[in-house]
Amino acid sequence: MSEYTNSTENLTLFQKLHIQLAEIIEKTPAGEKLKSEPELAASLGVSRATLREAMRSFEGQGLIRRRQGVGTFVVDQKQNIESGLEILESIETQANRLGMDVKMGYLGIHKGKAGKEIGSKLGIDPKEEIVQISRVIWVSDHPVAYLIDTLPSDVLPEEDLINGFTGSVLDLLIKRETYHLSHSKTYISACPASSDIAKKIQMQRGDVVQKFEAYLFETSGRILDYSESYFAPGFFKFHVIRKIGV
């Protein structure tokens, strides 16, 4: 008998469930839909609640994607956008470099007073006028990100957002050359998708999304843009190249 065995006897039921699900996902072609949750739960001999908890793990790894009222699909790993965080680039720039089709879906433009919270983030008077641009970005026929940018109203004329705007505020600011952009300070976290976010990027409410909260600075130190970006799991792989400390 071999010294090494491939036994699952000492694994917990939840660990065994993970192995079974991994095998099912691996055998299902990319883009195809898995069985419904009731069918999967019955075939695996677990409750729907236990199954759903296990599936969240695979969704967090970007292997599957659940769509509200539609089903669970296996993600095509070839459609992933892998990007280093050292350079600030738009999704449009990254997708075009990889030969992927990118387009903007929903677009909302709202103007009003900054208010106390946004005023403090942009470093402006709460009574100052701001413009908020929210939109959904699609890559290869999938909604992959919900972006919300808030800027002082003098930074971008409204006509620039109506005529020829393709979804990237960063690319638009670079193209206009009105400001000397310096850097972005970004906070990265994970959070549950609200009803609105889940609807926008076609996923389940409460599922985990990657959130980038960023401040875009010009060389004078002025904050030009405060943004919140929500990324659907399974389409982005972010990495950071770090130097060894001395």
pLDDT digits (tens, 9 = 90+) for 157-211: 888 888 889 899 999 999 989 999 999 999 999 888 899 998 898 877 887 788 9
Domain final residue pick, 74, 98, 116: 74
Length of the chain: 246
Task: Decide if 138 contacts 144 (C-beta within 8 A).
Answer: yes
138 and 231 fall within a common domain: yes
Q: Which residues contact 37 (CB under 8 A, 6 or more apart)?
A: 48, 51, 52, 55, 72
Q: For residues 205-231, give the mean pLDDT.
A: 93
172 and 143 fall within a common domain: yes
Give the structural domain span for 161.
78-239
Q: Euclidean distance between the first and final Cα of the chain, in Å?
A: 50
Q: For residues 211-231, give the mean pLDDT.
A: 96
Q: For residues 125-139, give the mean pLDDT.
A: 95
3-class DSSP state of 106: strand
How confident is the model at residue 78, as a pLDDT? Answer: 64
CATH of the domain at 29: 1.10.10.10
3-7, 152-156, 220-224: which has the minimum mean pLDDT? Answer: 3-7
Per-residue pLDDT band at 101 (split at 50, 70, 90): confident
103 and 205 fall within a common domain: yes
How confident is the model at residue 192, as a pLDDT? Answer: 87
Domain final residue pick, 31, 58, 74: 74
- pTM for this structure? 0.75
Note whether residue 154 is domain-resident.
Answer: yes
24 and 123 fall within a common domain: no
> How does strand 236-239 pair with strand 81-84?
parallel
178 and 124 fall within a common domain: yes
Q: For residues 47-61, give the mean pLDDT.
A: 81
Domain final residue pick, 25, 49, 74: 74
Per-residue pLDDT band at 122 (split at 50, 70, 90): very high
